[in-house]
Amino acid sequence: MIPLRVTSGCIGCGQCVMQCPTRCLMIRNGKRVYVSSENCSLCGHCFAICPVGAIEIFNMTADQCQVDIKNLQNIDTIIKYRRSIRKYNPEPLQREVLEQLVDFTKYAPSACNFRPLRFLCLSRHCMDEVGAMIAREMSGQFPKLPQQQDQLDIVFRGAPHCIVIYVESNHTHTGMDDAIITMTQLELLAQSKGIGTFWAGMLKTQGNLSAQIKQRINLQEDDMICGCLGIGMPALKYKRSVGRIPYHVDFLE
């Protein structure tokens, strides 16, 4: 039995079903939501989106995980409230907004202060082409992916932009760590401005294996893609943070 429970307060609105990335939720008899424990990853999206707080996770209720979402200038709130957004308004962000977000990452830590990162911002036209390429190239592993990509945009989740962070071949030894730090800070900064993000792992994974994809996004074959961040204005808002099990810390003297 998984530590996720739908209570009798469920109104069957289906918002949690639509936001479940593993498709483990379903509505029966037009009302209650049921959970398939085999697929649930305990990401907490259903818990965070439920408008009436009818889902419990790790024995925590919605009331225990409230945050002041009107105060997204507070770093504690930003970290607790951060979600991977998978549904976006299609309107693109202004170029100046994207430039300012990327420019702010110059303050992020960098190994040995080499600062080797390079940035690309893909538009929707490019993303449509690249998404189809990824789906075709990964169809041997995921046979349904081309159809799903055509219908649902599995690769980019409908985001109007994707920021690609890469390094040239002579900086691959520090690039990955720098990129992870930068992406984390970039997405928290974006959230403080009401902008949503998610880590587009399919482009990173397949892009590093595919000369054709690199060519389409104007990278050299020996460049290394270190991270990809889908970004845009969210088409929905989560209601609360999500319950998490505390980490255990050992202290040594």
Domain boundaries, the chain: 4-66, 95-232
Q: What is the CATH number of domain 4-66?
A: 3.30.70.20
* For residue 158, pLDDT beyond 80: yes
Average pLDDT over residues 155-179: 92
Please, are residues 111 and 178 in contact by the beta-carbon 8 Å criterion? yes
* Alpha carbons 83 and 105: distance in angstroms, whole number: 20
Neighbours of 22 (CB within 10 A): 13
Prediction pTM value? 0.89
* For residue 14, pLDDT beyond 60: yes
Mean pLDDT of the chain: 91
* For residue 30, pLDDT beyond 80: no
CATH label, 95-232, candidates 3.50.50.60, 3.40.109.10, 3.40.50.2300, 3.20.20.10: 3.40.109.10
